[in-house]
Amino acid sequence: MTHNDILKTNGFVSHKMALKKAHEEYDKYMKNHLTQVEKDYLRLMDIDLKEIDKNI
């Protein structure tokens, strides 16, 4: 619209790094927006995974 270049370079962030950052931000967002039932479920799954790790 303004005929000005928005990006002056090709960029400094790789696709892989951009995806990693997006996933991290999404995880942070989801931790703050889970229902109590979802939080309880994840807590129970974490306990189960720790038990499995102990038995391996």
User: What pLDDT is attached to residue 23?
Assistant: 93
Q: How far apart are the C-alpha atoms of 16 and 6, rounded to whole Å?
A: 22
DSSP 9: S
What are 2-27's pLDDT values in tens digits? Answer: 777 666 666 677 889 899 999 999 98
Query: Residue 54: its pLDDT value, please?
Result: 82
pTM over 0.85: no
pLDDT tens digits, 17-54? 899 999 999 988 888 888 889 889 988 998 888 888 88
Q: Per-domain residue ranges for the chain?
A: 15-55
